[in-house]
Amino acid sequence: MLNTRPRVAPAIGQRFYPMSFNRIPAFTVVIERGDAAEVGIVAHTYPSLYDVGTARRYAWDILNTVAQRLQVKPVEVADVDYMDSSEPSSLG
């Protein structure tokens, strides 16, 4: 947790996924905004040809872990393709 207002908590991690034969790095930032929190997650595989959906799955795992620890339920979730960030698509 950084000593800032609003409170900000960055995290960096990675997980190995056998399906993609690769480690997937992820960068997560949680920003407290009053009675809500904004969570930003960047997860990416290289080369993306071998992604097979594992980066998205890893991002969901991170989001679910953060939500469980904060004892909250995600309200608005968007998937933004790193190649076309102008068109987010709703995930649920």
What is the DSSP code string of 5-22?
SS-EEEEEEEEEETTTTE
In eight-state DSSP terms, residue 32 is E
Query: 57 in a domain, yes or no?
Result: yes
The answer to whether residue 44 is domain-embedded is yes
For 21-55, letters b (16+ CB in 10 Å) and e give: ebebbbebebbbeeeebebebebebeeeeebeebb
DSSP state of 48: G
Looking at per-residue pLDDT, the higher value among 91 and 34 belongs to 34
Please give the model's pTM, rounded to 2 decimal places. 0.74
Establish if 16 belongs to a structural domain: yes
Collect all residues with Cβ–Cβ distance below 8 Å to 92 and sequence separation of at least 6. 77
Do the beta carbons of residue 45 and residue 51 sit within 8 Å?
yes
Domain of residue 65 covers 8-74
pLDDT higher than 50, residue 30: yes
- Structure confidence at residue 92 (pLDDT): 46
In a domain, 86, yes or no: no
What is the number of domains present in the chain?
1
The reply to whether 85 falls in a domain is no
Q: Is 35 a domain residue?
A: yes
| pLDDT at 44 (0 to 100) | 80
Tell whether 87 is covered by a domain: no
Q: Is residue 90 part of a domain?
A: no
